[in-house]
Structure 1
Amino acid sequence: MTRRRMLHAFKAAAEIGNYQDEAVLPADTDPQIYLSRNWLPQPFHLICEKDTVLSQLSGSAHVHLRDSSVNRFRMDVGDHVYVPAGTPHQIVPVEEGVTIRYQPLAAGRQGAAWYCPECGAELHRYEWQHDNDGSAVALYAEAVARFSADLDARTCGKCSAVHPEISLEPYGWTTEPA
Protein backbone atom coordinates (compact mmCIF):
# COMPACT_ATOMS: atom_id res chain seq x y z
CA MET A 1 0.00 0.00 0.00
CA THR A 2 1.26 3.49 -0.81
CA ARG A 3 1.69 5.53 2.35
CA ARG A 4 0.71 9.15 2.68
CA ARG A 5 3.18 11.71 3.98
CA MET A 6 2.26 13.44 7.22
CA LEU A 7 3.82 16.73 6.10
CA HIS A 8 0.46 17.96 4.85
CA ALA A 9 -2.05 16.27 7.16
CA PHE A 10 -5.00 18.44 6.19
CA LYS A 11 -4.31 18.08 2.47
CA ALA A 12 -4.05 14.29 2.88
CA ALA A 13 -7.20 14.24 5.04
CA ALA A 14 -9.19 16.03 2.33
CA GLU A 15 -8.64 12.99 0.10
CA ILE A 16 -9.82 10.35 2.57
CA GLY A 17 -13.06 9.47 4.28
CA ASN A 18 -14.68 8.19 7.42
CA TYR A 19 -12.49 5.92 9.55
CA GLN A 20 -10.10 5.28 6.68
CA ASP A 21 -7.22 5.06 9.16
CA GLU A 22 -4.51 5.67 6.54
CA ALA A 23 -0.95 4.99 7.72
CA VAL A 24 1.11 8.17 7.27
CA LEU A 25 4.61 7.36 8.54
CA PRO A 26 7.36 5.18 7.03
CA ALA A 27 6.46 1.50 7.42
CA ASP A 28 9.04 0.78 10.14
CA THR A 29 8.15 3.73 12.41
CA ASP A 30 6.95 2.81 15.90
CA PRO A 31 4.46 4.02 16.96
CA GLN A 32 2.57 4.28 13.69
CA ILE A 33 0.09 7.09 13.02
CA TYR A 34 -3.21 6.61 11.18
CA LEU A 35 -5.21 9.49 9.71
CA SER A 36 -8.99 9.77 9.24
CA ARG A 37 -11.45 12.50 8.32
CA ASN A 38 -14.76 11.70 9.99
CA TRP A 39 -18.24 13.18 9.80
CA LEU A 40 -20.40 10.12 10.56
CA PRO A 41 -20.53 8.10 13.80
CA GLN A 42 -18.22 5.09 13.74
CA PRO A 43 -20.59 2.16 13.01
CA PHE A 44 -19.05 -0.05 15.72
CA HIS A 45 -16.82 0.07 18.78
CA LEU A 46 -13.19 -0.59 17.83
CA ILE A 47 -11.17 -2.81 20.16
CA CYS A 48 -7.36 -2.73 20.02
CA GLU A 49 -5.17 -5.36 21.70
CA LYS A 50 -2.59 -2.70 22.60
CA ASP A 51 -2.95 0.80 24.06
CA THR A 52 -3.83 3.51 21.57
CA VAL A 53 -4.04 7.31 21.65
CA LEU A 54 -6.46 9.45 19.65
CA SER A 55 -5.70 13.07 18.81
CA GLN A 56 -8.08 15.62 17.29
CA LEU A 57 -6.46 17.81 14.60
CA SER A 58 -9.66 19.61 13.55
CA GLY A 59 -13.35 19.57 14.38
CA SER A 60 -14.65 17.85 17.49
CA ALA A 61 -15.89 14.43 18.49
CA HIS A 62 -17.02 12.34 21.41
CA VAL A 63 -15.20 9.10 22.16
CA HIS A 64 -17.59 6.60 23.77
CA LEU A 65 -15.89 3.93 25.89
CA ARG A 66 -17.22 0.57 27.12
CA ASP A 67 -15.91 -1.55 29.99
CA SER A 68 -14.19 1.54 31.41
CA SER A 69 -14.54 3.79 34.44
CA VAL A 70 -14.95 6.67 31.97
CA ASN A 71 -17.93 6.54 29.61
CA ARG A 72 -17.17 9.42 27.26
CA PHE A 73 -14.57 12.04 26.39
CA ARG A 74 -15.13 15.09 24.23
CA MET A 75 -12.21 15.81 21.90
CA ASP A 76 -11.70 19.30 20.55
CA VAL A 77 -8.76 20.55 18.48
CA GLY A 78 -5.51 19.56 20.18
CA ASP A 79 -7.08 17.08 22.60
CA HIS A 80 -5.71 13.58 23.12
CA VAL A 81 -7.55 10.55 24.50
CA TYR A 82 -5.67 7.54 25.84
CA VAL A 83 -7.57 4.30 25.21
CA PRO A 84 -6.29 1.37 27.29
CA ALA A 85 -5.71 -1.98 25.60
CA GLY A 86 -8.90 -3.98 25.11
CA THR A 87 -11.26 -1.03 25.69
CA PRO A 88 -14.07 -0.86 23.12
CA HIS A 89 -14.34 2.72 21.84
CA GLN A 90 -16.44 4.54 19.26
CA ILE A 91 -15.78 7.94 17.70
CA VAL A 92 -18.91 10.06 17.25
CA PRO A 93 -18.17 13.37 15.50
CA VAL A 94 -19.85 16.50 16.83
CA GLU A 95 -18.64 18.23 13.68
CA GLU A 96 -16.50 17.02 10.78
CA GLY A 97 -12.92 16.63 11.86
CA VAL A 98 -9.54 15.06 11.32
CA THR A 99 -8.42 12.47 13.87
CA ILE A 100 -5.13 10.65 14.18
CA ARG A 101 -4.65 7.34 15.97
CA TYR A 102 -1.29 6.36 17.45
CA GLN A 103 -0.75 2.60 17.62
CA PRO A 104 2.28 0.36 18.17
CA LEU A 105 3.89 -0.99 15.03
CA ALA A 106 3.05 -4.52 16.23
CA ALA A 107 -0.53 -3.60 17.14
CA GLY A 108 -1.78 -7.18 17.48
CA ARG A 109 -5.44 -8.09 17.18
CA GLN A 110 -8.27 -5.65 16.58
CA GLY A 111 -11.98 -6.10 16.59
CA ALA A 112 -15.32 -4.46 15.97
CA ALA A 113 -18.07 -4.86 18.57
CA TRP A 114 -21.73 -3.90 18.57
CA TYR A 115 -23.99 -3.31 21.55
CA CYS A 116 -27.73 -3.64 22.06
CA PRO A 117 -29.52 -0.33 21.47
CA GLU A 118 -32.01 -1.20 24.23
CA CYS A 119 -30.08 -2.76 27.13
CA GLY A 120 -26.42 -2.12 26.21
CA ALA A 121 -25.32 -5.78 26.23
CA GLU A 122 -22.59 -6.76 23.77
CA LEU A 123 -24.25 -8.35 20.75
CA HIS A 124 -21.35 -9.57 18.68
CA ARG A 125 -17.73 -8.92 17.77
CA TYR A 126 -15.47 -9.75 14.87
CA GLU A 127 -11.70 -9.85 15.31
CA TRP A 128 -8.71 -9.81 12.96
CA GLN A 129 -4.93 -9.45 13.07
CA HIS A 130 -3.96 -5.81 12.51
CA ASP A 131 -1.83 -5.31 9.39
CA ASN A 132 0.02 -1.99 9.05
CA ASP A 133 0.06 -2.37 5.27
CA GLY A 134 -3.53 -3.54 4.78
CA SER A 135 -6.63 -1.43 4.28
CA ALA A 136 -8.47 -0.69 7.52
CA VAL A 137 -11.58 0.25 5.52
CA ALA A 138 -11.69 -3.18 3.85
CA LEU A 139 -11.60 -4.87 7.28
CA TYR A 140 -14.16 -2.49 8.76
CA ALA A 141 -16.49 -2.87 5.76
CA GLU A 142 -16.26 -6.67 5.91
CA ALA A 143 -17.04 -6.70 9.66
CA VAL A 144 -20.03 -4.35 9.24
CA ALA A 145 -21.36 -6.33 6.25
CA ARG A 146 -21.08 -9.64 8.14
CA PHE A 147 -22.80 -8.16 11.20
CA SER A 148 -25.62 -6.65 9.14
CA ALA A 149 -26.22 -9.90 7.26
CA ASP A 150 -26.43 -12.00 10.45
CA LEU A 151 -29.79 -11.64 12.22
CA ASP A 152 -28.60 -13.82 15.12
CA ALA A 153 -25.58 -11.54 15.64
CA ARG A 154 -27.86 -8.49 15.68
CA THR A 155 -30.39 -10.01 18.12
CA CYS A 156 -29.80 -9.41 21.82
CA GLY A 157 -29.65 -12.54 23.94
CA LYS A 158 -30.76 -10.56 27.01
CA CYS A 159 -33.73 -8.52 25.82
CA SER A 160 -34.37 -9.83 22.26
CA ALA A 161 -34.04 -6.35 20.71
CA VAL A 162 -32.68 -6.37 17.16
CA HIS A 163 -29.89 -3.99 16.17
CA PRO A 164 -30.68 -2.37 12.80
CA GLU A 165 -28.66 -3.27 9.73
CA ILE A 166 -25.85 -0.83 8.93
CA SER A 167 -25.49 0.51 5.40
CA LEU A 168 -21.96 0.84 4.05
CA GLU A 169 -23.08 3.43 1.48
CA PRO A 170 -22.96 6.58 3.67
CA TYR A 171 -19.37 5.69 4.59
CA GLY A 172 -18.36 5.15 0.97
CA TRP A 173 -17.29 1.62 1.91
CA THR A 174 -17.68 -1.50 -0.18
CA THR A 175 -16.87 -5.16 0.26
CA GLU A 176 -15.95 -5.41 -3.42
CA PRO A 177 -12.22 -5.66 -4.23
CA ALA A 178 -10.76 -2.34 -5.37
Structure 2
Amino acid sequence: MTAAREYPMRKKTINIFKEGKKTWGSYDDFPLAAVGVDPAPHLSRNSVAQPFHLVTARDELLVTMAGTGTVEFRTPSGVKTLDFEAGTVTYLPARMPSRVLPDTEALQVRLKAAAPVTEAAAFFCTSCNALLHSVEFVADVPQQKYWDVAVEFNGSIEQRTCTRCGAVADPVDLSEVAWNDVADVLKA
Protein backbone atom coordinates (compact mmCIF):
# COMPACT_ATOMS: atom_id res chain seq x y z
CA MET A 1 0.00 0.00 0.00
CA THR A 2 1.36 3.41 -0.93
CA ALA A 3 0.82 6.56 1.08
CA ALA A 4 -0.72 8.34 -1.95
CA ARG A 5 -3.49 5.75 -2.32
CA GLU A 6 -6.96 7.26 -1.84
CA TYR A 7 -9.69 5.47 0.04
CA PRO A 8 -13.35 6.26 0.70
CA MET A 9 -13.86 8.65 3.57
CA ARG A 10 -16.49 9.08 6.28
CA LYS A 11 -18.61 12.10 5.35
CA LYS A 12 -22.01 13.66 5.97
CA THR A 13 -22.80 13.77 2.24
CA ILE A 14 -21.72 10.83 0.10
CA ASN A 15 -21.39 10.49 -3.67
CA ILE A 16 -21.40 6.69 -3.88
CA PHE A 17 -20.11 6.55 -7.46
CA LYS A 18 -17.21 8.93 -6.71
CA GLU A 19 -16.32 7.06 -3.51
CA GLY A 20 -16.72 3.71 -5.30
CA LYS A 21 -13.81 4.58 -7.60
CA LYS A 22 -11.57 4.70 -4.51
CA THR A 23 -12.28 1.18 -3.26
CA TRP A 24 -9.29 -1.14 -3.29
CA GLY A 25 -10.77 -4.58 -3.78
CA SER A 26 -13.89 -6.64 -3.55
CA TYR A 27 -15.82 -6.68 -0.24
CA ASP A 28 -13.83 -3.78 1.25
CA ASP A 29 -16.84 -2.68 3.33
CA PHE A 30 -15.40 0.81 3.85
CA PRO A 31 -17.53 2.70 6.41
CA LEU A 32 -18.88 5.87 4.78
CA ALA A 33 -20.95 7.81 7.31
CA ALA A 34 -19.84 9.66 10.39
CA VAL A 35 -19.20 7.54 13.48
CA GLY A 36 -22.46 6.79 15.27
CA VAL A 37 -24.76 6.69 12.23
CA ASP A 38 -26.88 3.55 12.60
CA PRO A 39 -27.37 1.66 10.42
CA ALA A 40 -23.96 2.46 8.99
CA PRO A 41 -23.42 2.40 5.21
CA HIS A 42 -20.37 0.39 4.09
CA LEU A 43 -19.14 0.56 0.49
CA SER A 44 -17.73 -2.21 -1.70
CA ARG A 45 -17.02 -2.64 -5.41
CA ASN A 46 -17.23 -6.39 -5.96
CA SER A 47 -15.95 -8.20 -9.02
CA VAL A 48 -15.36 -11.76 -7.76
CA ALA A 49 -17.36 -14.26 -5.71
CA GLN A 50 -17.40 -13.46 -2.00
CA PRO A 51 -14.81 -15.87 -0.50
CA PHE A 52 -17.22 -17.21 2.14
CA HIS A 53 -20.80 -16.92 3.34
CA LEU A 54 -21.20 -14.15 5.88
CA VAL A 55 -23.49 -14.67 8.87
CA THR A 56 -24.39 -11.74 11.10
CA ALA A 57 -26.32 -11.44 14.36
CA ARG A 58 -28.36 -8.51 12.99
CA ASP A 59 -30.36 -7.98 9.82
CA GLU A 60 -28.62 -6.07 7.04
CA LEU A 61 -29.57 -4.53 3.71
CA LEU A 62 -27.49 -4.74 0.55
CA VAL A 63 -28.17 -1.88 -1.87
CA THR A 64 -26.85 -2.40 -5.40
CA MET A 65 -25.93 0.88 -7.09
CA ALA A 66 -24.45 -0.69 -10.25
CA GLY A 67 -23.83 -4.16 -11.64
CA THR A 68 -25.61 -7.49 -11.70
CA GLY A 69 -25.32 -10.83 -9.96
CA THR A 70 -26.84 -13.11 -7.37
CA VAL A 71 -26.98 -13.34 -3.61
CA GLU A 72 -26.83 -16.96 -2.44
CA PHE A 73 -28.51 -17.90 0.84
CA ARG A 74 -27.99 -21.13 2.79
CA THR A 75 -31.32 -22.00 4.37
CA PRO A 76 -32.43 -25.06 6.35
CA SER A 77 -34.25 -26.25 3.20
CA GLY A 78 -31.25 -25.76 0.87
CA VAL A 79 -29.62 -23.10 -1.28
CA LYS A 80 -31.78 -20.17 -2.40
CA THR A 81 -30.73 -17.30 -4.67
CA LEU A 82 -31.91 -13.77 -5.43
CA ASP A 83 -30.73 -11.85 -8.47
CA PHE A 84 -29.64 -8.23 -8.14
CA GLU A 85 -29.14 -5.31 -10.49
CA ALA A 86 -28.78 -1.54 -10.11
CA GLY A 87 -31.50 -0.32 -7.76
CA THR A 88 -32.07 -3.66 -6.03
CA VAL A 89 -32.28 -3.68 -2.23
CA THR A 90 -31.64 -7.18 -0.85
CA TYR A 91 -32.67 -8.06 2.69
CA LEU A 92 -30.01 -10.15 4.46
CA PRO A 93 -31.68 -11.80 7.46
CA ALA A 94 -29.76 -12.22 10.70
CA ARG A 95 -28.18 -15.65 11.22
CA MET A 96 -28.68 -16.68 7.58
CA PRO A 97 -25.46 -17.36 5.63
CA SER A 98 -25.32 -15.20 2.50
CA ARG A 99 -22.76 -14.73 -0.23
CA VAL A 100 -22.53 -12.23 -3.11
CA LEU A 101 -21.80 -13.67 -6.55
CA PRO A 102 -21.42 -10.80 -9.04
CA ASP A 103 -21.86 -11.37 -12.78
CA THR A 104 -20.44 -7.92 -13.53
CA GLU A 105 -18.61 -5.48 -11.29
CA ALA A 106 -21.13 -4.48 -8.62
CA LEU A 107 -21.03 -1.26 -6.62
CA GLN A 108 -22.86 -2.06 -3.39
CA VAL A 109 -23.66 -0.42 -0.07
CA ARG A 110 -24.22 -2.70 2.91
CA LEU A 111 -26.28 -1.14 5.69
CA LYS A 112 -25.19 -2.76 8.91
CA ALA A 113 -25.09 -2.11 12.63
CA ALA A 114 -22.75 0.71 13.63
CA ALA A 115 -21.52 -1.14 16.72
CA PRO A 116 -19.65 -4.42 16.23
CA VAL A 117 -21.93 -7.47 16.26
CA THR A 118 -21.28 -11.18 16.16
CA GLU A 119 -20.37 -12.30 12.65
CA ALA A 120 -19.24 -15.61 11.21
CA ALA A 121 -17.41 -16.65 8.08
CA ALA A 122 -18.88 -19.94 6.85
CA PHE A 123 -17.49 -22.21 4.15
CA PHE A 124 -19.69 -24.85 2.49
CA CYS A 125 -18.93 -27.98 0.48
CA THR A 126 -19.62 -27.44 -3.21
CA SER A 127 -20.34 -31.17 -3.67
CA CYS A 128 -22.91 -31.87 -0.93
CA ASN A 129 -23.60 -28.39 0.59
CA ALA A 130 -22.47 -29.45 4.09
CA LEU A 131 -20.82 -26.87 6.33
CA LEU A 132 -17.04 -27.31 6.01
CA HIS A 133 -15.81 -24.73 8.47
CA SER A 134 -17.09 -21.68 10.33
CA VAL A 135 -15.47 -19.07 12.55
CA GLU A 136 -17.52 -16.71 14.73
CA PHE A 137 -16.16 -13.40 15.98
CA VAL A 138 -16.90 -9.86 17.13
CA ALA A 139 -14.44 -7.28 15.83
CA ASP A 140 -14.14 -3.50 15.61
CA VAL A 141 -12.37 -4.08 12.26
CA PRO A 142 -13.97 -7.20 10.75
CA GLN A 143 -11.88 -6.94 7.58
CA GLN A 144 -8.86 -8.22 9.52
CA LYS A 145 -10.85 -11.25 10.73
CA TYR A 146 -12.18 -11.88 7.20
CA TRP A 147 -8.60 -11.98 5.91
CA ASP A 148 -7.24 -14.12 8.75
CA VAL A 149 -10.09 -16.66 8.52
CA ALA A 150 -9.83 -16.98 4.73
CA VAL A 151 -6.02 -17.36 4.79
CA GLU A 152 -6.28 -20.00 7.52
CA PHE A 153 -8.97 -21.87 5.53
CA ASN A 154 -6.80 -21.83 2.41
CA GLY A 155 -3.84 -23.23 4.33
CA SER A 156 -5.74 -26.05 6.06
CA ILE A 157 -6.59 -29.17 4.12
CA GLU A 158 -8.50 -30.33 7.22
CA GLN A 159 -10.80 -27.27 7.13
CA ARG A 160 -11.33 -27.69 3.37
CA THR A 161 -12.21 -31.42 3.58
CA CYS A 162 -15.88 -32.31 3.90
CA THR A 163 -16.58 -34.74 6.73
CA ARG A 164 -19.82 -35.83 5.01
CA CYS A 165 -18.70 -36.63 1.44
CA GLY A 166 -14.88 -36.39 1.57
CA ALA A 167 -14.63 -33.71 -1.14
CA VAL A 168 -11.78 -31.24 -0.73
CA ALA A 169 -12.67 -27.61 -1.44
CA ASP A 170 -10.33 -25.48 -3.49
CA PRO A 171 -8.71 -22.55 -1.67
CA VAL A 172 -10.87 -19.42 -1.86
CA ASP A 173 -9.81 -16.69 -4.27
CA LEU A 174 -8.31 -13.76 -2.38
CA SER A 175 -6.64 -12.12 -5.39
CA GLU A 176 -9.22 -9.33 -5.62
CA VAL A 177 -9.64 -8.53 -1.92
CA ALA A 178 -7.64 -5.98 0.05
CA TRP A 179 -8.89 -6.70 3.56
CA ASN A 180 -5.42 -6.42 5.12
CA ASP A 181 -4.88 -2.96 3.64
CA VAL A 182 -8.41 -1.85 4.53
CA ALA A 183 -7.95 -3.10 8.10
CA ASP A 184 -4.67 -1.18 8.46
CA VAL A 185 -6.39 2.07 7.43
CA LEU A 186 -9.42 1.50 9.68
CA LYS A 187 -7.23 0.65 12.68
CA ALA A 188 -5.14 3.83 12.23
Q: Do both share a fold (TM > 0.5)? A: yes
Match of 1:83 in 2: 92
Aligned to 1:166: 172
Aligned mates of 1:28, 1:171 — CA distance in 2: 26
**Which residue among 99, 103, 112 is the counterpart of 2:108?**
99
Alignment of 1:145-160 (within 5 A): 145-160=151-166
Given that 1:64 and 1:72 are in contact with CA atoms closer than 8 Å, whether structure 2 keeps it comes out as: yes
How many Å apart are 1:83 and its aligned residue? 1.2
In structure 2, what is the equivalent of residue 55 of structure 1? 63
How far did residue 34 of structure 1 move?
0.6
Residue of structure 2 equivalent to 1:32: 40
Whole-Å Cα distance in 2 between the matches of residues 13 and 97 of structure 1? 10
CA distance in 1, matches of 2:71, 2:175: 23
Q: Work out the number of aligned pairs and report it.
A: 174
Cα offset for 1:23? 0.5
Letter in 2 for 1:80: V
Q: Can you list the C-alpha shifts for 1:82-136, whole angstroms capped at 9, x where unaligned?
A: 11110100000011010111112235111111100110101001121042xx2x4
Distance, in Å, in 1 between the alignment partners of 2:121 and 2:147 is 10
Does the 8 A contact of 2:139 with 2:145 survive in 1?
A: no
Shifted more, 24-33 versus 6-15: the winner is 6-15
* Amino acid in structure 2 at the alignment position of 1:93: P
Cα–Cα, structure 1 residues 80 and 107, in superposed 2: closer, same or farther, change >3 Å? farther
55-64 or 67-76, which moves further after superposition?
Answer: 67-76
What amino acid maps onto 1:54 in structure 2? Answer: L
Partner of 2:15: 8
1:19 & 1:98 partners in 2: Cα distance? Answer: 10
Aligned to 1:74: 83
Query: CA 1:130/1:171 → structure 2, altered by over 3 Å: closer, same or farther?
Result: same
* TM-score normalized with structure 1 length: 0.89
Return the TM-score normalized by structure 2. Answer: 0.84
Deviates more, 1:60-69 or 1:165-174: 165-174
- Return the alpha-carbon distance in structure 1 between the equivalents of residues 155 and 19 of structure 2: 33
- Of residues 164-173 and 143-152 in structure 1, the stretch that sits farther from structure 2 once superposed is 164-173
The runs of 5 or more residues in structure 2 that have no matched partner are 1-7
SS in 2 for 1:141: helix
Unaligned runs of 5+ in 1: none
Name the aligned partner's letter for residue 122 of structure 2: A
